[in-house]
Structure 1
Amino acid sequence: MPREVVRGQVLALRNAGLSYNKIATQLHLPRSTVISITQRFSGRATTSDSPRPGRPSKLKSFHRNNIVAQILLDESDTAPEVAATMRTLSKHWTVDDWLRVVFSDETALYLYRNNNGGRVWRLVGETLTDRCVQGTVKFGGGHINVWGAISRFGISLFCEVGDVMNGDTYLSVLESELLASIRVWNNKNEMIFMHDNAPCHKRKDVAKWFETNQITVLDWPANSPDLNPIENAWNMVKNKIYQEREIKSKAALWERFQAVYEEVLTPEVCRDLISSMPRRIQAVIDANGGYTKY
Protein backbone atom coordinates (compact mmCIF):
# COMPACT_ATOMS: atom_id res chain seq x y z
CA MET A 1 0.00 0.00 0.00
CA PRO A 2 1.44 3.43 -0.92
CA ARG A 3 2.92 5.37 1.98
CA GLU A 4 0.64 8.37 1.37
CA VAL A 5 -2.43 6.16 1.77
CA VAL A 6 -1.15 4.70 5.04
CA ARG A 7 -0.37 8.16 6.35
CA GLY A 8 -3.84 9.36 5.39
CA GLN A 9 -5.42 6.45 7.26
CA VAL A 10 -3.36 7.18 10.36
CA LEU A 11 -4.34 10.86 10.34
CA ALA A 12 -8.01 10.08 9.72
CA LEU A 13 -8.17 7.64 12.62
CA ARG A 14 -6.27 10.04 14.86
CA ASN A 15 -8.71 12.85 13.98
CA ALA A 16 -11.54 10.45 14.82
CA GLY A 17 -10.17 10.25 18.36
CA LEU A 18 -8.45 6.86 18.33
CA SER A 19 -5.38 6.39 20.50
CA TYR A 20 -1.96 5.61 19.09
CA ASN A 21 -2.20 2.02 20.36
CA LYS A 22 -5.58 1.40 18.72
CA ILE A 23 -4.42 2.86 15.41
CA ALA A 24 -1.27 0.74 15.50
CA THR A 25 -3.32 -2.39 16.17
CA GLN A 26 -5.92 -1.64 13.50
CA LEU A 27 -3.41 -0.81 10.76
CA HIS A 28 -0.78 -3.37 11.86
CA LEU A 29 1.86 -0.70 12.32
CA PRO A 30 4.43 -0.09 15.08
CA ARG A 31 3.19 2.45 17.61
CA SER A 32 6.31 4.54 16.98
CA THR A 33 5.39 4.78 13.29
CA VAL A 34 1.89 6.01 14.12
CA ILE A 35 3.32 8.69 16.42
CA SER A 36 5.90 9.74 13.82
CA ILE A 37 3.29 10.07 11.05
CA THR A 38 0.97 12.08 13.32
CA GLN A 39 3.73 14.46 14.36
CA ARG A 40 5.08 14.94 10.83
CA PHE A 41 1.88 15.37 8.84
CA SER A 42 -0.78 16.76 11.20
CA GLY A 43 -1.86 20.20 10.02
CA ARG A 44 -0.28 19.78 6.58
CA ALA A 45 -2.24 19.83 3.34
CA THR A 46 -0.44 16.78 2.00
CA THR A 47 0.89 13.45 3.20
CA SER A 48 3.72 13.46 0.67
CA ASP A 49 7.32 13.85 1.77
CA SER A 50 8.71 17.36 1.69
CA PRO A 51 11.29 18.06 -1.02
CA ARG A 52 14.73 17.25 0.27
CA PRO A 53 17.54 19.80 0.08
CA GLY A 54 20.69 19.10 -1.87
CA ARG A 55 21.53 18.28 -5.43
CA PRO A 56 19.00 16.36 -7.56
CA SER A 57 19.43 12.61 -7.67
CA LYS A 58 21.37 11.22 -10.62
CA LEU A 59 19.06 8.21 -10.59
CA LYS A 60 16.47 8.74 -13.32
CA SER A 61 13.59 6.41 -14.06
CA PHE A 62 15.35 4.83 -17.03
CA HIS A 63 18.40 4.19 -14.82
CA ARG A 64 16.20 2.39 -12.32
CA ASN A 65 14.45 0.33 -14.97
CA ASN A 66 17.76 -0.62 -16.53
CA ILE A 67 19.26 -1.78 -13.23
CA VAL A 68 16.19 -3.81 -12.30
CA ALA A 69 16.22 -5.47 -15.71
CA GLN A 70 19.93 -6.30 -15.41
CA ILE A 71 19.43 -8.07 -12.10
CA LEU A 72 16.19 -9.88 -12.91
CA LEU A 73 17.55 -11.11 -16.26
CA ASP A 74 20.84 -12.25 -14.63
CA GLU A 75 22.81 -9.91 -16.87
CA SER A 76 24.60 -8.46 -13.84
CA ASP A 77 25.32 -10.06 -10.46
CA THR A 78 27.48 -7.46 -8.73
CA ALA A 79 27.75 -3.71 -8.29
CA PRO A 80 30.85 -3.44 -10.54
CA GLU A 81 29.01 -5.27 -13.33
CA VAL A 82 26.07 -2.88 -13.01
CA ALA A 83 28.45 0.07 -13.02
CA ALA A 84 30.14 -1.11 -16.21
CA THR A 85 26.79 -1.31 -17.97
CA MET A 86 25.52 2.00 -16.60
CA ARG A 87 28.65 3.83 -17.76
CA THR A 88 27.50 3.19 -21.31
CA LEU A 89 24.60 5.52 -20.44
CA SER A 90 26.55 8.01 -18.36
CA LYS A 91 30.32 8.23 -18.01
CA HIS A 92 29.90 9.72 -14.52
CA TRP A 93 27.94 6.75 -13.18
CA THR A 94 29.57 5.18 -10.11
CA VAL A 95 28.06 2.39 -8.05
CA ASP A 96 31.04 0.21 -7.15
CA ASP A 97 31.36 1.60 -3.65
CA TRP A 98 27.66 1.84 -2.87
CA LEU A 99 26.37 -0.58 -0.29
CA ARG A 100 22.83 -0.15 -1.45
CA VAL A 101 20.84 1.61 -4.11
CA VAL A 102 17.44 2.72 -2.89
CA PHE A 103 14.79 3.98 -5.27
CA SER A 104 12.02 6.30 -4.17
CA ASP A 105 9.09 4.04 -5.04
CA GLU A 106 7.93 0.56 -4.18
CA THR A 107 10.15 -1.16 -6.76
CA ALA A 108 13.20 -0.38 -4.61
CA LEU A 109 16.21 -2.58 -5.24
CA TYR A 110 18.72 -3.14 -2.48
CA LEU A 111 22.39 -4.01 -2.57
CA TYR A 112 23.89 -4.77 0.84
CA ARG A 113 26.48 -6.87 2.57
CA ASN A 114 25.39 -9.91 4.53
CA ASN A 115 27.06 -11.03 7.76
CA ASN A 116 29.81 -12.82 5.88
CA GLY A 117 30.70 -9.90 3.66
CA GLY A 118 28.76 -11.19 0.66
CA ARG A 119 26.58 -9.02 -1.53
CA VAL A 120 22.85 -9.48 -2.03
CA TRP A 121 20.58 -8.03 -4.70
CA ARG A 122 16.85 -8.15 -4.15
CA LEU A 123 13.62 -6.30 -4.70
CA VAL A 124 11.76 -4.98 -1.67
CA GLY A 125 9.75 -7.81 -0.13
CA GLU A 126 11.53 -10.46 -2.20
CA THR A 127 12.77 -13.52 -0.31
CA LEU A 128 16.37 -14.68 -0.70
CA THR A 129 16.91 -17.02 -3.66
CA ASP A 130 19.93 -18.36 -5.51
CA ARG A 131 19.63 -15.37 -7.86
CA CYS A 132 19.94 -12.90 -5.01
CA VAL A 133 23.06 -14.14 -3.25
CA GLN A 134 26.62 -13.80 -4.49
CA GLY A 135 29.06 -16.22 -2.91
CA THR A 136 32.21 -15.11 -1.13
CA VAL A 137 35.71 -16.52 -0.84
CA LYS A 138 38.33 -16.47 1.89
CA PHE A 139 41.02 -13.85 1.69
CA GLY A 140 44.44 -13.37 3.21
CA GLY A 141 45.38 -11.67 6.43
CA GLY A 142 46.35 -12.43 10.01
CA HIS A 143 44.23 -15.15 11.57
CA ILE A 144 44.35 -18.10 13.91
CA ASN A 145 42.72 -21.52 13.54
CA VAL A 146 40.99 -22.81 16.65
CA TRP A 147 39.20 -26.05 17.42
CA GLY A 148 36.31 -26.03 19.86
CA ALA A 149 32.86 -27.53 20.36
CA ILE A 150 29.63 -26.81 22.21
CA SER A 151 27.18 -29.05 24.02
CA ARG A 152 24.10 -28.57 26.16
CA PHE A 153 26.52 -28.49 29.11
CA GLY A 154 28.51 -25.60 27.66
CA ILE A 155 31.77 -25.22 25.77
CA SER A 156 34.46 -27.83 25.24
CA LEU A 157 38.14 -27.42 25.83
CA PHE A 158 39.74 -25.62 22.91
CA CYS A 159 43.11 -25.35 21.25
CA GLU A 160 44.93 -23.54 18.47
CA VAL A 161 45.60 -25.93 15.59
CA GLY A 162 48.13 -24.10 13.45
CA ASP A 163 47.81 -23.19 9.80
CA VAL A 164 46.53 -26.54 8.49
CA MET A 165 43.90 -28.86 9.92
CA ASN A 166 44.64 -32.25 8.39
CA GLY A 167 43.60 -35.73 9.47
CA ASP A 168 46.57 -36.23 11.78
CA THR A 169 45.98 -32.90 13.52
CA TYR A 170 42.26 -33.65 13.83
CA LEU A 171 42.93 -37.04 15.42
CA SER A 172 45.27 -35.39 17.92
CA VAL A 173 42.63 -32.80 18.81
CA LEU A 174 39.94 -35.46 19.22
CA GLU A 175 42.18 -37.55 21.44
CA SER A 176 43.12 -34.69 23.72
CA GLU A 177 40.44 -31.99 23.69
CA LEU A 178 37.26 -33.90 22.80
CA LEU A 179 37.80 -36.89 25.08
CA ALA A 180 38.75 -34.61 27.97
CA SER A 181 35.61 -32.52 27.37
CA ILE A 182 33.40 -35.61 27.28
CA ARG A 183 34.80 -36.70 30.64
CA VAL A 184 33.90 -33.30 32.06
CA TRP A 185 30.41 -33.39 30.53
CA ASN A 186 29.96 -37.02 31.62
CA ASN A 187 27.44 -37.73 28.85
CA LYS A 188 29.29 -40.00 26.43
CA ASN A 189 26.44 -42.52 26.12
CA GLU A 190 23.94 -39.77 25.22
CA MET A 191 26.12 -37.72 22.90
CA ILE A 192 25.79 -37.48 19.14
CA PHE A 193 28.81 -35.74 17.65
CA MET A 194 28.26 -33.37 14.75
CA HIS A 195 30.88 -32.25 12.24
CA ASP A 196 30.79 -31.55 8.50
CA ASN A 197 32.24 -33.37 5.50
CA ALA A 198 35.65 -31.70 5.51
CA PRO A 199 38.30 -34.13 4.15
CA CYS A 200 40.02 -34.44 7.52
CA HIS A 201 36.69 -35.41 9.11
CA LYS A 202 36.00 -38.17 6.57
CA ARG A 203 39.29 -40.04 6.74
CA LYS A 204 38.94 -43.73 7.47
CA ASP A 205 41.20 -43.59 10.52
CA VAL A 206 39.08 -40.73 11.92
CA ALA A 207 35.88 -42.75 11.42
CA LYS A 208 37.63 -45.70 13.09
CA TRP A 209 38.59 -43.48 16.05
CA PHE A 210 34.95 -42.57 16.70
CA GLU A 211 33.95 -46.21 16.39
CA THR A 212 36.67 -47.34 18.78
CA ASN A 213 35.67 -44.69 21.32
CA GLN A 214 31.96 -45.57 20.91
CA ILE A 215 30.96 -42.05 19.92
CA THR A 216 27.96 -41.74 17.61
CA VAL A 217 28.54 -39.36 14.69
CA LEU A 218 25.64 -37.65 12.94
CA ASP A 219 25.38 -38.58 9.26
CA TRP A 220 25.92 -35.43 7.20
CA PRO A 221 24.84 -35.61 3.53
CA ALA A 222 27.08 -34.05 0.87
CA ASN A 223 26.23 -30.48 -0.17
CA SER A 224 23.70 -30.18 2.64
CA PRO A 225 22.64 -26.82 4.12
CA ASP A 226 25.11 -25.64 6.76
CA LEU A 227 22.89 -25.80 9.84
CA ASN A 228 25.47 -26.65 12.48
CA PRO A 229 24.89 -24.16 15.34
CA ILE A 230 28.63 -24.08 15.99
CA GLU A 231 28.79 -21.65 13.04
CA ASN A 232 26.58 -19.23 14.98
CA ALA A 233 28.69 -19.77 18.09
CA TRP A 234 31.92 -18.91 16.25
CA ASN A 235 30.29 -15.86 14.72
CA MET A 236 29.28 -14.60 18.17
CA VAL A 237 32.84 -15.07 19.40
CA LYS A 238 34.34 -13.31 16.37
CA ASN A 239 31.96 -10.36 16.72
CA LYS A 240 33.01 -9.97 20.36
CA ILE A 241 36.69 -10.30 19.52
CA TYR A 242 36.62 -7.59 16.89
CA GLN A 243 34.97 -5.08 19.16
CA GLU A 244 38.57 -4.62 20.24
CA ARG A 245 40.07 -2.59 17.40
CA GLU A 246 43.72 -2.74 18.42
CA ILE A 247 44.55 -6.35 17.55
CA LYS A 248 47.85 -6.15 15.72
CA SER A 249 49.30 -9.66 15.96
CA LYS A 250 48.35 -13.32 16.10
CA ALA A 251 49.51 -13.45 19.70
CA ALA A 252 47.16 -10.60 20.61
CA LEU A 253 44.34 -12.28 18.70
CA TRP A 254 44.87 -15.57 20.53
CA GLU A 255 44.92 -13.76 23.86
CA ARG A 256 41.72 -11.94 22.96
CA PHE A 257 40.06 -15.21 21.91
CA GLN A 258 40.84 -16.86 25.23
CA ALA A 259 39.41 -13.87 27.06
CA VAL A 260 36.02 -13.91 25.30
CA TYR A 261 35.39 -17.60 24.42
CA GLU A 262 33.96 -18.60 27.78
CA GLU A 263 32.42 -15.17 28.37
CA VAL A 264 30.32 -15.31 25.19
CA LEU A 265 29.46 -19.02 24.99
CA THR A 266 27.78 -19.55 28.33
CA PRO A 267 25.96 -22.85 29.00
CA GLU A 268 22.66 -21.00 28.47
CA VAL A 269 23.76 -19.71 25.05
CA CYS A 270 24.99 -23.17 24.05
CA ARG A 271 21.69 -24.77 25.06
CA ASP A 272 19.72 -22.16 23.12
CA LEU A 273 21.77 -22.77 19.98
CA ILE A 274 21.38 -26.54 20.20
CA SER A 275 17.67 -26.28 21.00
CA SER A 276 17.20 -24.30 17.79
CA MET A 277 17.98 -27.34 15.62
CA PRO A 278 14.35 -28.44 15.09
CA ARG A 279 13.49 -24.90 13.96
CA ARG A 280 16.49 -24.81 11.62
CA ILE A 281 15.55 -28.12 10.03
CA GLN A 282 11.91 -27.12 9.61
CA ALA A 283 12.92 -23.80 8.05
CA VAL A 284 15.02 -25.60 5.43
CA ILE A 285 12.15 -27.99 4.71
CA ASP A 286 9.74 -25.08 4.32
CA ALA A 287 12.20 -23.34 1.97
CA ASN A 288 12.68 -26.53 -0.08
CA GLY A 289 16.39 -26.47 0.70
CA GLY A 290 16.76 -22.76 -0.01
CA TYR A 291 18.03 -19.91 2.11
CA THR A 292 16.73 -19.37 5.63
CA LYS A 293 17.45 -16.82 8.34
CA TYR A 294 19.79 -19.34 9.95
Structure 2
Amino acid sequence: MDILKQHLKTSVRKLKLGRKWVFQMDNDPKHTSKVVAKWLKDKKVKVLEWPSQSPDLNPIDNLWAELKKLVRAWRPTHLTQLHQLCQGEWATIHPIYCGKLVEGYPKCLTQVNQFKGNATKY
Protein backbone atom coordinates (compact mmCIF):
# COMPACT_ATOMS: atom_id res chain seq x y z
CA MET A 1 0.00 0.00 0.00
CA ASP A 2 2.90 2.34 0.76
CA ILE A 3 4.22 1.83 -2.77
CA LEU A 4 0.80 2.59 -4.23
CA LYS A 5 0.47 5.70 -2.07
CA GLN A 6 3.88 6.96 -3.15
CA HIS A 7 3.90 6.03 -6.81
CA LEU A 8 0.48 5.30 -8.33
CA LYS A 9 -0.58 8.88 -9.11
CA THR A 10 2.93 9.81 -10.23
CA SER A 11 3.08 6.83 -12.58
CA VAL A 12 -0.32 7.60 -14.07
CA ARG A 13 0.77 11.19 -14.66
CA LYS A 14 4.17 10.23 -16.16
CA LEU A 15 2.54 7.69 -18.46
CA LYS A 16 -0.04 10.29 -19.50
CA LEU A 17 -2.92 7.87 -18.95
CA GLY A 18 -5.48 10.57 -18.33
CA ARG A 19 -8.57 9.66 -16.33
CA LYS A 20 -9.65 6.45 -18.05
CA TRP A 21 -7.08 3.93 -16.85
CA VAL A 22 -7.48 0.61 -15.09
CA PHE A 23 -5.09 -0.75 -12.48
CA GLN A 24 -3.84 -4.29 -13.06
CA MET A 25 -2.36 -6.58 -10.44
CA ASP A 26 -1.90 -10.32 -10.29
CA ASN A 27 -4.08 -10.96 -7.22
CA ASP A 28 -1.27 -12.56 -5.27
CA PRO A 29 -2.54 -12.70 -1.67
CA LYS A 30 0.07 -10.21 -0.48
CA HIS A 31 -1.28 -7.70 -3.00
CA THR A 32 -4.94 -8.12 -2.10
CA SER A 33 -5.12 -7.55 1.62
CA LYS A 34 -8.29 -5.95 2.98
CA VAL A 35 -6.44 -2.73 3.78
CA VAL A 36 -5.13 -2.43 0.19
CA ALA A 37 -8.55 -3.28 -1.27
CA LYS A 38 -10.13 -0.62 0.94
CA TRP A 39 -7.51 1.96 -0.04
CA LEU A 40 -8.05 1.26 -3.75
CA LYS A 41 -11.81 1.52 -3.30
CA ASP A 42 -11.55 4.73 -1.25
CA LYS A 43 -9.33 6.27 -3.95
CA LYS A 44 -11.80 5.12 -6.62
CA VAL A 45 -9.11 3.13 -8.44
CA LYS A 46 -10.70 0.85 -11.01
CA VAL A 47 -9.04 -2.57 -10.70
CA LEU A 48 -9.02 -5.02 -13.60
CA GLU A 49 -10.70 -8.32 -12.74
CA TRP A 50 -7.93 -10.86 -13.00
CA PRO A 51 -7.55 -14.57 -12.33
CA SER A 52 -5.25 -15.17 -9.37
CA GLN A 53 -1.63 -15.73 -10.36
CA SER A 54 -2.56 -16.48 -13.98
CA PRO A 55 0.27 -17.61 -16.28
CA ASP A 56 1.67 -15.33 -18.96
CA LEU A 57 -0.79 -12.48 -18.49
CA ASN A 58 1.25 -9.84 -16.74
CA PRO A 59 3.83 -7.83 -18.73
CA ILE A 60 5.66 -6.96 -15.50
CA ASP A 61 6.70 -10.60 -15.19
CA ASN A 62 8.77 -10.20 -18.35
CA LEU A 63 10.27 -7.04 -16.92
CA TRP A 64 11.21 -8.85 -13.69
CA ALA A 65 12.81 -11.64 -15.77
CA GLU A 66 14.90 -9.04 -17.61
CA LEU A 67 16.00 -7.46 -14.34
CA LYS A 68 16.95 -10.87 -12.93
CA LYS A 69 19.00 -11.63 -16.04
CA LEU A 70 20.85 -8.31 -15.81
CA VAL A 71 21.56 -8.68 -12.10
CA ARG A 72 22.51 -12.37 -12.32
CA ALA A 73 25.23 -11.49 -14.85
CA TRP A 74 27.01 -9.53 -12.09
CA ARG A 75 26.95 -12.50 -9.68
CA PRO A 76 26.29 -10.53 -6.50
CA THR A 77 27.83 -12.03 -3.37
CA HIS A 78 25.94 -10.25 -0.58
CA LEU A 79 22.61 -8.59 0.06
CA THR A 80 23.89 -5.01 -0.07
CA GLN A 81 25.51 -5.62 -3.44
CA LEU A 82 22.33 -7.32 -4.70
CA HIS A 83 20.27 -4.31 -3.63
CA GLN A 84 22.65 -1.87 -5.34
CA LEU A 85 22.74 -3.92 -8.53
CA CYS A 86 18.95 -4.21 -8.65
CA GLN A 87 18.58 -0.45 -8.34
CA GLY A 88 21.32 0.25 -10.87
CA GLU A 89 20.10 -2.23 -13.46
CA TRP A 90 16.48 -1.15 -12.98
CA ALA A 91 17.53 2.40 -13.87
CA THR A 92 19.08 1.13 -17.13
CA ILE A 93 15.88 -0.48 -18.41
CA HIS A 94 14.65 1.92 -21.05
CA PRO A 95 10.97 2.96 -21.19
CA ILE A 96 10.92 1.85 -24.84
CA TYR A 97 11.57 -1.72 -23.66
CA CYS A 98 8.59 -1.42 -21.32
CA GLY A 99 6.49 -0.06 -24.18
CA LYS A 100 7.41 -3.05 -26.34
CA LEU A 101 6.27 -5.41 -23.60
CA VAL A 102 2.90 -3.68 -23.56
CA GLU A 103 2.68 -3.54 -27.36
CA GLY A 104 3.21 -7.31 -27.53
CA TYR A 105 0.41 -7.89 -25.08
CA PRO A 106 -2.39 -8.51 -27.65
CA LYS A 107 -0.29 -11.28 -29.24
CA CYS A 108 0.29 -12.77 -25.80
CA LEU A 109 -3.43 -12.70 -25.01
CA THR A 110 -4.19 -14.41 -28.32
CA GLN A 111 -1.76 -17.20 -27.47
CA VAL A 112 -3.12 -17.62 -23.96
CA ASN A 113 -6.61 -17.90 -25.46
CA GLN A 114 -5.37 -20.35 -28.09
CA PHE A 115 -3.76 -22.53 -25.39
CA LYS A 116 -6.90 -22.25 -23.24
CA GLY A 117 -5.09 -20.56 -20.35
CA ASN A 118 -2.11 -22.91 -20.26
CA ALA A 119 1.45 -21.60 -20.42
CA THR A 120 2.72 -20.08 -23.67
CA LYS A 121 6.16 -19.05 -24.88
CA TYR A 122 5.59 -15.71 -23.16
TM-score after normalising by structure 2 = 0.86
Any idea what the Cα deviations from partners look like across 1:68-123, whole Å, max 9, x if unmatched?
xxxxxxxxxxxxxxxxxxxxxxxxxxxxxxxxxxxxxxxxxxxxxxxxxxxxxxxx
Of structures 1 and 2, the larger Rg is shown by 1
**Residues 1:283 and 2:111 aligned together:** yes
The CA RMSD measured in Å over matched residues stands at 1.9
The aligned runs of 1:49-128 (5 Å cut-off) are none
State the one-letter code of the partner of 1:234.
Answer: W
The alpha-carbon deviation at position 281 of structure 1 amounts to 1.1
1:200 aligns to what? 30
- Note closer, same or farther for the CA distance 1:188–1:199 as it changes in structure 2 (3 Å cut): farther
CA distance in 1 between partners of 2:81 and 2:90 (Å): 14
Match of 1:190, SS state, is coil
Match of 1:176, SS state, is helix
The alpha-carbon deviation at position 220 of structure 1 amounts to 0.7
8 Å CA contact retained: 1:192, 1:218: yes
Any idea what the Cα deviations from partners look like across 1:191-228, whole Å, max 9, x if unmatched?
22111121232223212212222322111124633410
CA distance in 2 between partners of 1:269 and 1:192 (Å): 21
The alpha-carbon deviation at position 186 of structure 1 amounts to 4.2
The alpha-carbon deviation at position 175 of structure 1 amounts to 0.8
The alpha-carbon deviation at position 290 of structure 1 amounts to 2.2
The alpha-carbon deviation at position 252 of structure 1 amounts to 0.7
8 Å CA contact retained: 1:193, 1:217: yes
8 Å CA contact retained: 1:182, 1:188: yes
Match of 1:206, SS state, is helix
Higher relative contact order structure (alpha carbons within 8 Å, sequence separation ≥ 6):
2
The aligned runs of 1:251-290 (5 Å cut-off) are 251-264=80-93, 266-290=94-118
State the one-letter code of the partner of 2:42.
Answer: T
Q: Is the strand fraction higher in 1 or 2?
A: 1
CA distance in 2 between partners of 1:192 and 1:205 (Å): 19
Match of 1:214, SS state, is coil
CA distance in 2 between partners of 1:186 and 1:235 (Å): 26
**Where do 5+ consecutive residues of structure 2 fail to align?**
none
CA distance in 2 between partners of 1:199 and 1:188 (Å): 29
What number of residue pairs does the alignment pair up?
122
Match of 1:217, SS state, is coil
CA distance in 1 between partners of 2:88 and 2:107 (Å): 31
8 Å CA contact retained: 2:56, 2:112: no
Any idea what the Cα deviations from partners look like across 1:9-28, whole Å, max 9, x if unmatched?
xxxxxxxxxxxxxxxxxxxx
1:190 aligns to what? 20
The percent of aligned pairs where both chains have the same amino acid is: 33
Q: Is the helix fraction higher in 1 or 2?
A: 2
Q: 2:59 aligns with which of 222, 229, 232?
A: 229
Match of 2:119, SS state, is coil
- Note closer, same or farther for the CA distance 1:176–1:285 as it changes in structure 2 (3 Å cut): same
1:239 aligns to what? 69
The alpha-carbon deviation at position 288 of structure 1 amounts to 2.0
- Note closer, same or farther for the CA distance 1:241–1:208 as it changes in structure 2 (3 Å cut): same
**Residues 1:213 and 2:43 aligned together:** yes
CA distance in 2 between partners of 1:218 and 1:288 (Å): 20
